[in-house]
Amino acid sequence: MSVPNVIIHRDADMLAKAVAARVITRTVDVQSGKGSASLVLTGGTVGIATLAEIAASPARDAIDWRNLDIWWGDERFLPSGHPERNETGARQALLDHVDVDPARVHVMRGPDSGMTAEESAEAYADELRRAARPEDHGPAPSFDVMMLGMGPDGHVASLFPGMPALYETRPVVAVHGSPKPPPTRISLTLPVIQGSREVWLIAAGEEKAGAVRLALSDSGPMQVPAAGARGRQRTLFLLDRAAASKIPSSLGRLSSP
Ligand SMILES: O=C1O[C@H](COP(=O)(O)O)[C@@H](O)[C@H](O)[C@H]1O
């Protein structure tokens, strides 16, 4: 797993803009090499703000939207269209404004599908298995970019400290009793996250500073799930100054005043 590289921006607004530019550039680079790309979206404040900045970017259509696979790292187990679903936020912020191939937007199904949370997790695991290629050496694609938000408790996706999902070897699990509402969710697990080529942890705000420091220290992922979020080739901590306020200056410096 790759050692994290910390990049700090002056505030949450600049962070969202900079991450949006990074998504566009990285996706174009990957597509120019192999024709398609895979991007895992995150929910949360900065995650959705980043998608809105992609939509607003004059460079957004440098991405070949028809050759992009969109996945989610987690989803709240709520009906399609529910305002608290990560998918709803992503569609409103970006996906409804670009020419994605609907067949390549891989949604984690909610209760309106008629499935239980466990069945929805298994269905997503099947979709991941079908998308995996031999060179991925696992039950899921080696995603080109896995975007993850981070909670103040160090959770990533819907992997919360001390919860059973952190011990899972299956690629996707149902989460019950989430400390952050809603209580029932679907989440990728650490093995799938760690199979990604690049993992980008995106965090803004003072309330994340403690978790960021622990995630960059030698904390275990059971206590600080973000400490287990590492990519095979690259791991980025993309932070604003407030979220970076408790890490040693040797670990990262402001990208611009
Ligand atoms: O509930 C969730 O929270 C995390 C972090 O959200 P934030 O608003 O604190 O940035 C998010 O990454 C995750 O996708 C979401 O389901």
Q: What is the ipTM of this complex?
A: 0.96
Cβ–Cβ under 8 Å, residues 5 and 236: yes
CA–centroid distance, residue 157 to ligand 1 (Å): 7
Residue with CA at minimum distance from ligand 1 atom 12: 149
CA–centroid distance, residue 134 to ligand 1 (Å): 32
What pLDDT shows up at residue 248?
Answer: 77
Q: Please choose from 41, 158, 206, 238 the residue to mutate so as to test ligand 1's pocket, defined by most ligand atoms within 8 A of CB.
A: 158
CA–centroid distance, residue 196 to ligand 1 (Å): 19
State how far the Cα of 53 lies from the Cα of 34, in Å rounded to an integer. 25
Q: Name the stretches of the chain with pLDDT < 50.
A: none
Q: Give the domain range for residue 164.
A: 4-254
What pLDDT shows up at residue 252?
Answer: 67
Using DSSP, state whether 53 is helix, strand or coil: helix
What pLDDT shows up at residue 251?
Answer: 72
Residue with CA at minimum distance from ligand 1 atom 2: 44
What pLDDT shows up at residue 250?
Answer: 73
Q: Please choose from 15, 41, 155 the residue to mutate so as to test ligand 1's pocket, defined by most ligand atoms within 8 A of CB.
A: 155
What is the number of other CB atoms lying within 10 angstroms of the CB of residue 233?
12
List the CATH number of the domain containing 132. Answer: 3.40.50.1360
What pLDDT shows up at residue 256?
Answer: 63
CA–centroid distance, residue 43 to ligand 1 (Å): 5
- Buried (b) or exposed (e) across 21-37, using 16+ Cβ within 10 A? ebbbebbeebbeeeeeb
Query: Can you read off the two tokens belonging to residue 185?
Result: 């969710």
Find the distance separating the first CA and the last CA of the chain, reported in whole Å. Answer: 31
**What is the value of pTM for the model shown?**
0.96
Q: Minimal CA–CA distance to 208: which of 226, 187, 230?
A: 226
Q: Using a pLDDT cut of 90, give the percent of the chain over it.
A: 94
**How many domains does the chain contain in total?**
1
Task: Kindly list the protein residues whose Cβ atom lies closer than 6 A to any atom of ligand 1.
Answer: 42-47, 74, 86, 149, 151, 158, 180
CA–centroid distance, residue 180 to ligand 1 (Å): 9
What pLDDT shows up at residue 147?
Answer: 98
Beta strands, E only, 139-195 = 145-149, 172-175, 185-188
Cβ–Cβ under 8 Å, residues 208 and 238: no
Cβ–Cβ under 8 Å, residues 67 and 37: yes
State how far the Cα of 97 lies from the Cα of 63, in Å rounded to an integer. 13
What pLDDT shows up at residue 257?
Answer: 64
CA 33, distance to chain mean position in Å, is: 23
